[in-house]
Amino acid sequence: MPKAVRVHEYGGPEVLRYEDVDVGEPDIGEVLLRHTAIGLNYADIHTRNGRYPLPHFPHVIGGEGCGVVEALGADVTNVAVGDRVAYSSGGHALLRGSYCELRTMNAERLVKLPSDITDETAAAMITKGLTAQYLIHDSHPVTEQDAILVHSAAGGVGMIIAQWARTFGAHVIGVVSSEEKAAFATNHGCHDVIVSTKENIAEQAKTLTSGEGVTAVFDAVGADTFESSLAALRPLGRLVAYGSSSGPVPPFDIFRLNEMGSLSITAGAFYWHMRTGDEIRSRAKSLFDVVSSGAVKININQRFALADVADAHRAMEARSTIGMTVMSP
């Protein structure tokens, strides 16, 4: 029988169980997909520990993967048997389930891969890259007029935002927690890097922008960084809040934004920017083009076997991962 990693209860990495599963046949509009590579996302930790509720137990978690189509259900026309495809669940509970060898999957969410995008690269970047795509094109359309602050700049989403925004001519300032990550961020898009364990983020952001502050902050850290992100902005600046690696942001009086310089906040969510197959494919083309051009590098620094997924979770929670992490089924 095929193997999968399921959780039967919320908890730490020890609740991840590598076990046999019954996959079944693809339903109408679905394909049977054999994974070749599986991406690791910080959101997987939230689904494992209950921050993002699961619809039922046991549950195969995991939000992104790449594989080969093995069989088609009825009415599937956009892919064929043998196609190499990738997908992101986009945080949608019913589409999760990439921690496995074989799965059924909604065909409409699949993206066919160009020949120059490897399976590992696709699995590593499809969620993080599509997230970066909508954040810098829609949540805050970055231009050469911008000076932006990118939190977790040596992390998966952050390293793509930094590199891609730089191609638009923006001044890119990264935030990381160690000197090792600072070196990585400097090689992946950042003109300047703030080391959060040694420097005051808002003060440094102002210093690096001649006292003005940045025009936008891309923040997926949440609780720990919310106040410093606001303080780093110049008048009319925008905070793009799209995650909470350190915990959720506490309740907030919106009229503080008035006093701080008529600031704005937007809360980015993947699913609302990727509601149709056409939208996914159009944004994926934009991602594949920028990666194929070499302007955005997808640096895979950690590799694990799916059976060792608990080690991958421990590494990510300990903040010891740099760049992308991929698992092989």
Q: Phi then psi for 248, rounded to 5 degrees? A: -70, 150
CB of residue 223 vs ligand NAP: minimum separation in angstroms?
8
36 touches ligand NAP by CB under 6 A: no
Pairing of strands 84-88, 111-112: antiparallel
- The correct pick among 177, 264, 299, 328 for binding ligand NAP (CB under 6 A) is 177
319 contributes a contact to ligand NAP by CB under 6 A = yes
Q: Cβ closer to ligand NAP: 134 or 288?
A: 134
Is 42 an interacting residue with respect to ligand NAP (CB under 6 A)?
yes
The distance from CA 282 to its chain's CA centroid, rounded to whole angstroms, is 18
DSSP state of 250: P
Cα–chain-centroid distance for residue 47? 14
Contact region with ligand NAP (CB under 6 A), list: 123-131, 136-144, 227-235, 277-285: 123-131
Q: What is the largest CA-CA distance in the chain?
A: 61
Segment holding 175, helix H or strand E: strand 171-176
Supply the minimum distance, in Å, between the C-beta of residue 50 and ligand NAP: 14
Q: Which listed range, 74-82, 107-115, 116-124, 150-158, lies at the site for ligand NAP (CB under 6 A)?
A: 150-158
Going 30 to 33 to 160 to 54, the CA torsion angle's sign is positive
Binder of ligand NAP out of 7, 69, 154, 216 (CB under 6 A): 154
**SS3 at position 90:** coil
Q: Are 323 and 154 in contact (CB under 8 A)?
A: yes
User: Does 139 interact with ligand NAP (rule: CB under 6 A)?
Assistant: no
Is 220 a binder of ligand NAP (CB under 6 A)?
Answer: yes
Looking at beta carbons only, is 170 or 316 nearer to ligand NAP?
316
Q: Single out the segment in contact with ligand NAP by CB under 6 A; choices: 149-157, 162-170, 198-206, 287-295.
A: 149-157
Q: Which of 36, 47, 106, 127 binds ligand NAP (CB under 6 A)?
A: 127
| Least distance CB 146 / ligand NAP (angstroms) | 20
Residue nearest to ligand NAP (CB): 155
Judged by CB under 6 A, does residue 224 bind ligand NAP?
yes
CA 223 to chain CA centroid, Å, is 18
What value, to the nearest 5°, has the Cα angle with vertex 307 and ends 303 and 311? 60
Tokens 């400097």: give the residue.
Answer: 186
Number of residues this chain uses to bind ligand NAP (CB under 6 A): 29
- CA distances (Å), origin 177, targets 67, 199, 236, 307: 34, 10, 28, 29
The piece of 72-80, 200-208, 249-257, 265-273 that touches ligand NAP (CB under 6 A) is: 265-273
Contacts of 308 (CB under 8 A, 6+ apart): 327
Interface pick for ligand NAP out of 270, 284, 302, 313 (rule CB under 6 A): 270
Among 19, 188, 172, residue whose Cα is nearest residue 101 = 19
Which residue is listed with tokens 């780093």? 232
| Per-residue contact flags (x/-) with ligand NAP for residues 226 to 245, judged by CB under 6 A | ----------------xxxx
Q: Please report, as ranges, the residues that interact with ligand NAP according to CB under 6 A.
A: 41-43, 127-128, 131, 152, 154-158, 176-177, 181, 220-221, 224, 242-246, 268-270, 316, 319, 321
